[in-house]
Amino acid sequence: MKVLISVDIEGIAGVFHPEQTRAGNGEYEQARRWMTREANAAALGAFEGGASQVWINDSHGGFRNLVPDLLDARARLVLGKPRTLGMMAGLEGAPELVFMIGYHARAQSRGILAHTINSTAFARVTLDGEEAGEAALYGRLAEERGARVALLTGDDVFGAETLPAFPGARFLCVKTAHGYSSGVTETPAAACDAIQLAARETVEAASSTVRHAQRVSVTDHRCELRVQTTAFADLFCQWPTLERVDAVTLAFDAPSVEHVVRTLNCLSAMSFMLR
């Protein structure tokens, strides 16, 4: 059984402030090690549960945060950008299970460091009429490729909004949100122990159940994006296939979730023109 672990930083135990997520300071250097250790705990647990291969996708910012020499030698790493599948790069290798480690709640929720893809430009993303955060978007991409979202970790707000989208997935809460940058957290060591156990049990349970992964039928999708200012809407609507709904909302149709994700990531990259 092959497992793809996608790891972000905002949902890691002990991470509460934007400075911990940005390269160039001591707080980030410590947080990236906590991120690496949680990813490694998930990998160790997956191997203990019987996984034959584990790929770890660095899914935060520039996708080069993990410290490779702190990871189990059996794992394989997906690092750097640009990449077509973004936070789900590695799906090309046809994993059966996907773990989302250190994920966070969607934009304009009360979760710790909550945002969706680009906190500067994006205020709200809706896919087929349902509000979606990064986990919902990328989880649907995983399902489209025939993989099952099996384990999620992060804060309590993230778990409450995300679990309904993935029936049967397991959620491990490593911290409780009191606001955007405050709350109560497990220690990094305790979080890693819990993640390793959850990963092992998740793979064991999956291995004992006969499942035949099937790709979800690809159908047309409608995505609406509310942006933070009219300037971003002006910029993004230079793309001729995007429709201006109102001053700060645009919409587009796409033939697959992959196309939705790729379009959003391109718009995110465009947004740097206004910074």
Q: Domain ranges for the chain, please list them.
A: 2-118+133-207, 221-274
Catalytic residue set: 115
- Please tell me the distance from the alpha carbon of residue 138 to that of residue 141, in angstroms, as a whole number: 5
Dig out the tokens for 120 from the structure. 């500067």
Is 212 known as a binding-site position?
no
* Diameter of the chain measured on Cα atoms: 53
Is 134 known as a binding-site position?
yes
Query: Model's pTM, two decimal places?
Result: 0.95
Is 29 known as a binding-site position?
no
Is 8 known as a binding-site position?
yes
- Architecture of the domain made up of 2-118+133-207: 3-Layer(aba) Sandwich (3.40)
**Helix, strand, coil percent values for the chain (each to nearest 5):** 35, 25, 40
Dig out the tokens for 274 from the structure. 């206004």
- Judge whether 203 and 53 are in contact, CB under 8 Å: no
- Please tell me the distance from the alpha carbon of residue 13 to that of residue 68, in angstroms, as a whole number: 19
Residue 179 bridge partners (DSSP): 182
SS3 string, 143-180, reads: HHCCCEEEEEEEEHHHHHHHHHHCCCCEEEEEEEEEEC
- Local confidence pLDDT in tens for the 275 residues of the chain: 999 999 999 999 999 999 999 999 999 999 999 999 999 999 999 999 999 999 999 999 999 999 999 999 999 999 999 999 999 999 999 999 999 999 999 999 999 999 999 999 999 999 999 999 999 999 999 999 999 999 999 999 999 999 999 999 999 999 999 999 999 999 999 999 999 999 999 999 998 874 545 566 667 999 999 999 999 999 999 999 999 999 999 999 999 999 999 999 999 999 999 98
Q: Residue 191's pLDDT is what?
A: 98
Closest listed residue to residue 152, CA positions, set 194, 117, 124 = 194
